[in-house]
C-alpha cells in the first residue's frame, strides 16, 4: 500500500524526521539536527523553548527543499562555467 501511495503522490516526502523531544513530525526545513549524533533532530518549537535544548553537541538548522534546490542550481551553474 505504501508503494501505491508514493506512486500516486510522488512529491510526498518518503522519510519524515521526528523531534527527539516532543516526538512530533518535523516539516522539511523546520528543524535542527545534531552535527555529531546520527539521529538527533529537534523541531523549531522545542529548540526555542526554555532557552534551547540540553544537548552536548552543536545543532544546525535543516535546509528547506527550496534552499537545497537553489544551492544545487548554483553549484551546477558554477560547474558549467568552469
Per-residue pLDDT, 63: 66
Residues 3-54: pLDDT tens digits? 888 788 877 766 778 898 899 988 877 888 888 988 889 998 888 886 667 8
Residues 6+ apart with CB under 8 A from 37: 57
DSSP string, 38-76: TT-EEEHHHHHGGGS---SS-EEEPPPHHHHHHHHHHHH
Does the pLDDT of residue 64 top 70, yes or no? Answer: no
Domain ranges for the chain: 31-78
Nearest to 53 by CA among 62, 38, 41: 41
Specify the residue for cell string 553537541.
Answer: 57
Amino acid at each position: 500500500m505504501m508503494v501505491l501511495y508514493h506512486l500516486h503522490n510522488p512529491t510526498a516526502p518518503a522519510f519524515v524526521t521526528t523531534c527527539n523531544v516532543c516526538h512530533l513530525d518535523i516539516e522539511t526545513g523546520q528543524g535542527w539536527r545534531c552535527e555529531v549524533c546520527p539521529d538527533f533532530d529537534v523541531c523549531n518549537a522545542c529548540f526555542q523553548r526554555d532557552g534551547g535544548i540540553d544537548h552536548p553537541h552543536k545543532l544546525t538548522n535543516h535546509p528547506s527543499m527550496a534552499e537545497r534546490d537553489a544551492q544545487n542550481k548554483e553549484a551546477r551553474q558554477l560547474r558549467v562555467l568552469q
